Amino acid sequence: MPSVPSTAAAVTVGITGIWVLYSSLFLLRNYIKARAIGVPIRVIPVSHSNPFWMLMDRPVLSVLRRFGLGSTSFARYGFRLWEIEDRTKSHQEMGPVFILVTPDRNWLYIADPDTINEVFRRRTDFPRCVELTEVLDVFGPSIATAEGARWKVQRKIVTSCFTEPTNKIVWSESLWLAKDMLQYWTSKPSLATTARDCRTLSLNVLSRAGFGKSFKFEGQEEQTSSSETYQGSLQMILENCFLIFAFGTKALGNPWLPEKLNKVHKACEAFQNYMTAMYEEAKGADDPTSKNFIASLVRASQREDEHAPTEKELYGNMFTFNFAVHDTTAHTFTFALYFLAAHPDVQAWINEEIREVFKDEDYSYTRDFPRLKRCLALMLETLRLYTPVPVAKWTESQEQSLNVGGGKTVVIPPNTMVLPSYGAIQSEPDHWGNDPLVWRPSRWIEPTSDSTSRPGSEELINWRKGTFLGWSDGARDCPGRKFSQVEFVATMATLFRDWRVYPVLEHGETLESAQERVKKLIETDSGPVLLL
């Protein structure tokens, strides 16, 4: 009679064999579909969008590279945000369009600006892939996962949240919190909490402008909040989003799972409770003059018509605001600070502008924000090299024809992903000059021959449409663009008016070698990670 371990091993081998056979059949099916399109092909055995694979892709990639397999298609394309590392390499090898075949579906990548513009323009032909974005429906449907008529209603409601009165709140709150963060930072001989602190600042700005809750900045070492507070629960959710997307919130609450996973479940419960409390508070306040997100959403939900958002949609949008508006801005802050630490010349360049614009202590959003072009250029250049979340389109249930440049038109089968190659299009020498991989914010400032031109009176360059997609484009571009710009500019202007940032020197290291080390760190350690 076989033992229990041997039976379990046999079952495991059997399940693995069935999975391999199943994946192989679907991979072959998708390869045949890709061949019919008539563009270059690369094949990988697992989809990089598979939430379970996302939990292990980076460690597996590290092993492949250790054994000299880093140049295989699997190692090049089989992990999240491979586009950032690949940049223009694949398109230099295969041209402006190629297709990546996986068992799940095929992914068509485009690096031609005119073709990208056409994809964004044809919103109904190339909608967002709801099957991918629905992982964001952790707390309910939102604008990120809506399509068709429902999306139009959601878009109108969400757009009403991002107004100039809201931007003024973002400006003043960012200035105040940045001063607090600066006071905390300057009390330390060195910092190892930059990313966490930037996330805290960004979360607090959103809390005030979005939900009417003002929090004083606390550095990581000062924080006493647990995963059961609003800030602590959201922090844990954002840091473990891939885990939540893969298993769902309820599954993580099973008592037989490790305590760390149960903590993520408790954080989800706590955040839901806080959203419910804020919703009930906003309903009870009944203030028609309130301009924050939650008040706008509640007013929309109280309309007596079929288009009024449901309570679940309200919670879904509240989470989406936190996930998209706060988290992506916080990442951009962190990248920008590391870049600045490696580029003291850029720090001097923006300080010149800040000193010119902030001549007194009366920092005005209306007067000063439009003049801080160099500070905004920091954000644009950082997003050019490290766009946080590329947007995926697809053909849904219909085949679509698409002109892919050079007079060539391809017919794309149903259920095919169609993506602008962000990493390639935003670092293509034909668009960005002979130094596209160099972080140089001044490339965004319009050159002038006027000797009287000075900081605070410069203009930004409008690069060719379709070559910069920091906030996506078309009808479904990011409605929080101005919100994030105001937050970033106000914070950077406050931090660098009187202070500088430098890398901490390791033993025997010069400042120049430390700056090169920081640049290398940005290039090699920029993927998303799972934190527990």
pLDDT of residue 25: 96
Q: Would you state the structure tokens that stand for residue 124, as one six-digit string?
A: 């109904």
Q: How far apart are CA 399 and CA 415, in angstroms?
A: 8
Whether residue 406 is contained in a domain is answered as no
Q: How far apart are CA 255 and CA 261, in angstroms?
A: 10
Q: How far apart are CA 220 and CA 217, in angstroms?
A: 10
Q: Which residue has the higher pLDDT, 527 or 435?
A: 435
| pLDDT range class, residue 224, cuts 50, 70, 90 | low
Note whether 177 and 290 are same-domain residues: yes
Note whether 431 and 372 are same-domain residues: yes
Note whether 297 and 268 are same-domain residues: yes
Mean pLDDT lowest for which of 76-85, 129-138, 200-209?
Answer: 129-138
Q: How far apart are CA 478 and CA 324, in angstroms?
A: 9
Residue 272, pLDDT above cutoff 50: yes
268 is in an annotated binding site: no
Whether residue 20 is contained in a domain is answered as yes
pLDDT of residue 325: 74
pLDDT of residue 418: 97
Note whether 58 and 116 are same-domain residues: yes
The stretch 369-388 carries a mean pLDDT of 95
pLDDT of residue 532: 35
pLDDT of residue 219: 77
Residue 453, pLDDT above cutoff 80: no
pLDDT of residue 530: 37
Q: Which amino acid belongs to residue 383?
A: L
Q: Which residue has the higher pLDDT, 406 or 194?
A: 194
Q: Which amino acid belongs to residue 370?
A: P
The stretch 326-341 carries a mean pLDDT of 91
What is the percent of the chain with per-residue pLDDT over 90, rounded to a whole number? 54
Note whether 24 and 95 are same-domain residues: yes
Non-local CB neighbours of 308 within 8 Å, separated by 6+ positions: 300, 301, 302
Q: Which of 63, 97, 131 is the last residue of a domain?
A: 131
The stretch 83-102 carries a mean pLDDT of 96
Q: How far apart are CA 321 and CA 308, in angstroms?
A: 19
For residue 402, the cross-strand partners are 410
Mean pLDDT lowest for which of 293-302, 343-352, 373-382, 433-442?
Answer: 293-302
Q: What's the CATH number where 492 sits?
A: 1.10.630.10
Non-local CB neighbours of 13 within 8 Å, separated by 6+ positions: none
- Which 3 state secondary structure label does DSSP give 311? helix
Whether residue 397 is contained in a domain is answered as no
C-beta separation of 301 from 314 below 8 A = yes
Whether residue 511 is contained in a domain is answered as yes
The winner for highest mean pLDDT among 417-421, 450-454, 522-526 is 417-421
Q: Which of 131, 158, 189 is the last residue of a domain?
A: 131
Q: How far apart are CA 42 and CA 71, in angstroms?
A: 12
Whether residue 44 is contained in a domain is answered as yes
pLDDT of residue 235: 82
Whether residue 136 is contained in a domain is answered as no
Query: In 3D, which of 48, 45, 66, 69 has the Cα closest to residue 57?
Result: 48
pLDDT of residue 222: 58
Note whether 380 and 480 are same-domain residues: yes
Dihedral pair phi/psi, residue 2, rounded to 5°: -65, 145
The stretch 184-200 carries a mean pLDDT of 90
Q: Which of 131, 161, 187 is the last residue of a domain?
A: 131
| pLDDT range class, residue 531, cuts 50, 70, 90 | very low
Total Cβ atoms within 10 A of residue 213? 17
Query: In 3D, which of 107, 99, 122 has the Cα closest to residue 402?
Result: 122
Tell me the three-class secondary structure of 482-520, residue by residue.
HHHHHHHHHHHHHHCCCCCCCCCCCCCCCHHHHHHHHHH
Residue 12, pLDDT above cutoff 90: no
Angle, vertex CA 35, rays to CA 33 and CA 38, nearest 5: 120
Mean pLDDT lowest for which of 110-119, 451-460, 475-484, 495-504?
Answer: 451-460
| pLDDT range class, residue 18, cuts 50, 70, 90 | confident
Note whether 333 and 208 are same-domain residues: yes
Total Cβ atoms within 10 A of residue 169? 21
pLDDT of residue 192: 86
Query: In 3D, which of 349, 327, 325 has the Cα closest to residue 492?
Result: 349
The stretch 328-333 carries a mean pLDDT of 89
The stretch 445-454 carries a mean pLDDT of 70
Q: Show the domain range for 58.
A: 4-131
Q: Would you state the structure tokens that stand for residue 467, as one six-digit string?
A: 């070559």
Note whether 212 and 122 are same-domain residues: no
Residue 529, pLDDT above cutoff 50: no
Tell me the three-class secondary structure of 346-399, residue by residue.
HHHHHHHHHHHHCCCCCCCHHHHHHHCHHHHHHHHHHHHHCCCCCCCEECCCCC
Helix and strand numbers (H, E) in the chain are 24, 7
Q: How many residues does the chain have?
A: 532
Note whether 105 and 205 are same-domain residues: no
Whether residue 402 is contained in a domain is answered as no
Note whether 254 and 313 are same-domain residues: yes
CB half-sphere exposure, 480, CA atoms < 13 A: 22
- Residue-wise pLDDT for 135-181, tens only, equals 778 899 888 888 888 888 888 888 888 999 999 999 999 999 999 99
pLDDT of residue 283: 85
The stretch 313-333 carries a mean pLDDT of 85
The stretch 47-52 carries a mean pLDDT of 82
Question: Mean of the per-residue pLDDT values for the chain?
Answer: 88
Q: Which residue has the higher pLDDT, 7 or 317?
A: 317
Note whether 85 and 217 are same-domain residues: no
C-beta separation of 498 from 186 below 8 A = no
Write the DSSP symbol of residue 46.
Answer: S
Q: Which residue has the higher pLDDT, 306 or 142?
A: 142
Whether residue 233 is contained in a domain is answered as yes
C-beta separation of 124 from 136 below 8 A = no
The stretch 248-271 carries a mean pLDDT of 89
Q: How far apart are CA 386 and CA 373, in angstroms?
A: 20
Non-local CB neighbours of 135 within 8 Å, separated by 6+ positions: 51, 245
The stretch 282-303 carries a mean pLDDT of 81
Q: How far apart are CA 385 and CA 423, in angstroms?
A: 7
Q: How far apart are CA 486 and CA 482, in angstroms?
A: 6
Q: Would you state the structure tokens that stand for residue 249, as one six-digit string?
A: 């919130």
Note whether 355 and 481 are same-domain residues: yes
Alpha carbon of residue 178 to chain centroid: 22
- Which 3 state secondary structure label does DSSP give 476? helix
Angle, vertex CA 175, rays to CA 322 and CA 445, nearest 5: 90
Q: How far apart are CA 387 and CA 436, in angstroms?
A: 15
Q: Would you state the structure tokens that stand for residue 142, as one six-digit string?
A: 């939102």
Write the DSSP symbol of residue 472.
Answer: B
How many separate domains does the chain show? 2
Residue 187, pLDDT above cutoff 70: yes
Q: How far apart are CA 378 and CA 375, in angstroms?
A: 5
